[in-house]
Amino acid sequence: MEKAYVAIGSNLGNRKKNCEAALAAFSLHPDIKVLSVSPWYRSKAFTLDQQPQPDYCNGVIELTTTLSAHSLLHYLQEIEKKLGRKKENERWRPRTLDLDLLFYGEQILKEKELMVPHPEMIKRIFVLQPLCDIAPDIIHPLQKQAVRKLLLFLKKASATDELQPWDES
C-alpha cells in the first residue's frame, strides 16, 4: 500500500458538488481507501488573458492504494472525464474538475505523462494550505522541507492571500 495525496479543484457548474463527486468516486474503487479530506477552500482562478473566471473550490485528499502511480493517474483522468472534463480544456481554462497527483509515497517520477511530486504544488497556496491541513509534517522529497514550512515560505513571499474557506455563496 502506498499513501498518496490528490488535489481536487473545480470552477465550473456546482463546484463543491463536483469535488464531492470526485471524492465519492475514490471511495468506490476497491483498491483505494480515503484516509482524510481537507476543508474546502475558495481561490481565484489563474488566467493568462485576464478574462474573468469563476472562483475555484479546492481541497486535498489523503488516500492509500495498491494501484501504481500510473494506474492511479489513469483513474484520476477517468474520474475527470466521467464528471465532464473535456480534454480540449488547456491550462488556464475553466474546468468542471481538475485532479492532480501531488505525492505518491516518497517516489520521485519525472516522465512526460507523470511528474511526482507535482512540479507546481509549492507555488500554489490553494494546494499547500489544504495539504497542510491534513498532513503538515509530510516532507516534500525534492525540497526536503515539511509542507507546513513550504506553506509558510509561500505566504511570506506572496503579497496577497486569495484563499478563503469555502462557503456556498
Which one of 31, 42, 91, 100 is the catalytic residue? 100
Which one of 15, 55, 93, 98 is the catalytic residue? 98
- Residue 5's DSSP bridge partners are 62, 103
Q: In angstroms, what CA-CA distances link 126 with 2, 32, 67, 71, 74?
A: 24, 24, 26, 25, 23
**What is the distance between the alpha carbons of residues 153 and 129, in angstroms, rounded to a whole number?**
12
DSSP 143: T
Based on the residue annotation, tell me whether 100 is a catalytic residue of this protein.
yes
Based on the residue annotation, tell me whether 31 is a catalytic residue of this protein.
no
Grid coordinates 469535488 are at which residue? 19
Based on the residue annotation, tell me whether 95 is a catalytic residue of this protein.
yes
- Give, for 80, the enclosing helix (H) or strand (E): helix 69-82
Which one of 15, 55, 93, 95 is the catalytic residue? 95
Based on the residue annotation, tell me whether 137 is a catalytic residue of this protein.
no
Which one of 15, 42, 85, 124 is the catalytic residue? 85
Catalytic residues: 85, 95, 98, 100
